[in-house]
Amino acid sequence: MPYARPLLDAVRLFETLGVGYTLIGGLASMVYGRSRFTEDVDFMVASDFEERVAAHPDVMRGFRFDPTHTRRLYHDSGIPVDVWHDEHADEIVARSRQIDIAAHPVNISEPHDLIAMKLRAGRPRDENDISEILVGGERILDATIQSRVTPEQFQQFTRIKSRVGLDRR
């Protein structure tokens, strides 16, 4: 997995700095659905991330990241690591689960949160990821999704569900 080194370096950076994090994006979607191409590694981070990394550029360098960037971490592997945080970040991080990647525990977004983030983004590739997560075997509860998105985003979720034939179960 070409993403393992930058992913694990980011996880170790977050752990060293005591920053809450969770894996999101294409790599998280692969865990719950099926593999697809992705160009980067995405994390949701707790609201104190930027102040912590800004205070410790030496730690960033120690994990092979350019300390002059904090929204997109530039790893010496050439694979970028995007860090996101918004008004939902701390809740999403708190609900994350752990999986093992290369024998290291990694926090990953709970699937309802991942779907909600992808509905908020609203890109075609996110709709495809949602479809794959829905058929991937995780139990997805409509009420949980509905509580985490706007009514319009929930309507989009029900359309995606219908397209993959899950509205007939």
Contact indicator for 40, 81 with CB cutoff of 8 Å: yes
Annotation: CATH topology of 4-109: Beta Polymerase; domain 2 (3.30.460)
Q: What is the C-alpha to C-alpha distance for residues 49 and 14, in angstroms, rounded to an integer?
A: 8
Q: What mean pLDDT do residues 104-113 have? A: 97
Q: What is the C-alpha to C-alpha distance for residues 55 and 12, in angstroms, rounded to an integer?
A: 16
Q: What mean pLDDT do residues 115-143 have? A: 92
Note the pLDDT tens digit of each residue in 23-72. Answer: 999 899 989 987 777 889 999 999 999 899 889 999 999 999 988 888 88
- 67 Rama sector, left if φ>0, alpha if ψ -120 to 50, beta otherwise: alpha
Note the pLDDT tens digit of each residue in 67-101. Answer: 888 888 889 999 999 999 989 999 999 999 999 99
Q: What is the C-alpha to C-alpha distance for residues 9 and 122, in angstroms, rounded to an integer?
A: 29
Q: What is the C-alpha to C-alpha distance for residues 57 and 135, in angstroms, rounded to an integer?
A: 42
Domain boundaries, the chain: 4-109, 113-168
Q: Which amino acid is at 70?
A: T
